[in-house]
Chains A and B, each alone.
Chain A
């Protein structure tokens, strides 16, 4: 039986996990940047740069929360909360051990993919309500990008679902344990690659950060935001990055499982294993972010429709044939 207090406790734990994820990835991103760019600040200042996220948060709280005159005020004010809530919704189904999971839904993957595209709506409304041409273009770019990356994202996961014969995330991990190899190494390597590329586009990170594009659109849909509302977008961005990496490690890299450790202790080492895998994936994203320029919007569309979607369809075909043959 689920009562109200249990839901509250679960939500609290998931929220703590989500915020910690955001903090971990902020540190990772900033430290990666300063390591690659020889910036002394975040590497040496303040406990070797580890209190940097705290300083960042305090900085945003000090700033004035400006609502410009001509904006559509209710939409403008609620858009960040909407984005944060939709990203938070993703955390609910990610299992950090077989039992430590917000809710092990039967249709976990389906839920995940449905929720993950919701945040774009928040970005679009933020761009639209800002009463700024640059913001509007940023919002519309985000919407256009959604159509481009959402299909390869979904299609790449279909291969995993076929191989695992379940849509529950815990079930997918258990299947990988049963099989002995993570899906990334046993048939879904291509899908893993496509998923990561599409997920980068979903996170709006370099090289797919066209909706933000500070050198073109002056930060796009974020232009008019300041103070706490900007901070919420910022946290949502890193939470999104964390959760998508966690989902990728669950679907393709065996999630909380690691060989040779006793399975009965999984509730203790599970979270550590999952976060380690997530951080490793995040580190790749950091390397990509700080070494690549930005694509053009039409180049992303070309990449998605002419390369990623055919490849993921091919992946589904091959997976299905293998499933029938073996």
Chain B
């Protein structure tokens, strides 16, 4: 014992220090493609030091279905069937920009009534999509109850969409120059034009009341929860500058404090006729992203109620040739999808189908911010941040 103390290297015990550095290395953790919180088949290759993430790399393409290529060998009316399936949570909203781009090339315009119906269904798709987000986000944070309530509430909206279009997820309802004569309203005669199903207005009013109730309840159950606040406030902050640099759009951009909503700029759908507010966040954290979407549901319900009250009468379609040929040219139309900015770039060579179709999807651009946002975060925060971006893998990979 004396020998050890008197070696002379360490004169005083108090000056001794542990000189051995424990060698540690980061563990590679594959999050996905099969993971309950990656919304499908996103894969994140994360380097983690304990619970802390040192770097993360998203790996995409597990769900690539080649819709841009498939569109080249299809006619214009057939393509609406494809684009339904890009973001399946809000199928109807996907059709709108494509139809708008095509109609712009053909220089035709849908009748007012068709435009109103398109608007109502788009807003319904937005509500349905945000319901899914609300439920799923709470589930990812760890609360199990909200998703059951949200799914039940969403079902009412899907029922309404189904009663008009015949499909819950894939309505395939838009036609170039108008909308499809609605299902469930009997055969077309000269006197009886196929239109919205009987009782649709009243059912919609009831459903929107329920949506407003559900939003209140969600605000209480999830937003008022201290644990939820602790998990989301101040987590995953996207500053205004960062959001603009990375081209994120939709509710994520607005949560960062940028008041930018394509609904105010588009003339394709008659949004300018209605009064609504654009909710904007302050901090750009996960809580704001959740809250902006919740408020948007309320505004969407208000828009739908106004649209129901001011529904114009008239035909559902303009005159279009039986075989649709689009004149040579190019057009790009972008609209406000529930998840952000969605755009279609159509290049026509004058044939039955497009020469090239480029699809700009919101989720793909939105998750490009993930590596920056996730660096240095904890693993539970990764889930919270990823969930708050609200992406759909079909929308990322298309």
Contacts and interface: CB of A to CB of B under 8 A. Distances in A.
Contacts of A297: 51, 378, 380
Interface stretch (B76-84, B137-145, B295-303, B360-368): B137-145
A44 interface: no
Contact of A296 (B29, B37, B381): B381
Interface stretch (B115-123, B225-233, B240-248): B225-233
A165 interface: no
Interface string B239-274: 000000000000000000000000000000000000
A39 interface: yes
Nearest to B235: A296
A215 B140 contact: yes
B219 to A, nearest CB: 14
B380 A292 contact: no
A292 B228 CA distance: 8
Interface string B365-398: 0000000000000111101000000000000000
A282 to B, nearest CB: 17
Contact of A37 (B35, B144, B228): B144
Contacts, number: 78
A39 B148 contact: yes
A36 B380 contact: no
For chain A, the bracket of interface size reads 20 to 34
A291 B221 contact: yes
Contacts of B139: 215
Contacts of B225: 291-293
Contact of B142 (A33, A38, A215): A215
B27 A215 contact: no
B152 A293 contact: no
A323 B36 CA distance: 53
A152 to B, nearest CB: 18
Nearest to B136: A215
B140 A36 contact: no
A86 B189 CA distance: 77
A296 B378 contact: yes
Interface of B is mostly: helix
Interface string B143-156: 11100110010000
A215 B37 contact: yes
A133 B378 CA distance: 16
The range of chain B's interface size is: 20 to 34
Interface string A281-301: 000000001111111111100
Contacts of A108: none
A213 B140 CA distance: 9
B36 A214 contact: yes
Contact of B148 (A37, A209, A213): A37
A37 B149 contact: yes
A33 B230 CA distance: 24
Contact of B231 (A36, A206, A209, A294): A294
B380 A210 contact: yes
State the main secondary structure of chain A at its contact with B. loop
A137 interface: yes
A216 interface: yes
Interface string B15-54: 0000000000001010000011100000000000001000
A37 B142 contact: no
B227 A213 contact: no
A33 B149 CA distance: 12
A295 B231 contact: yes
Contact of A298 (B140, B152, B378): B378
B145 A290 contact: yes
A79 B161 CA distance: 51
10 residue pairs, one from A and one from B, having the closest CB atoms: A294-B142, A37-B148, A293-B141, A293-B143, A293-B142, A215-B140, A215-B37, A296-B380, A293-B227, A290-B145
Given A216-B379, A218-B35, 11 more contacts: A36-B145, A133-B27, A207-B142, A216-B37, A292-B142, A292-B143, A292-B227, A293-B141, A296-B230, A296-B378, A296-B381
Interface of B: 27, 29, 35-37, 51, 138-145, 148-149, 152, 221-222, 225, 227-228, 230-231, 378-381, 383
Interface of A: 33, 36-39, 133, 137, 206-207, 209-210, 213-216, 218, 289-299
25 contacts: A33-B144, A37-B145, A37-B149, A133-B27, A206-B142, A207-B142, A213-B380, A215-B36, A215-B37, A215-B142, A216-B379, A216-B380, A290-B145, A291-B221, A292-B142, A292-B227, A293-B138, A293-B141, A293-B227, A294-B141, A296-B230, A296-B380, A297-B380, A298-B378, A299-B231
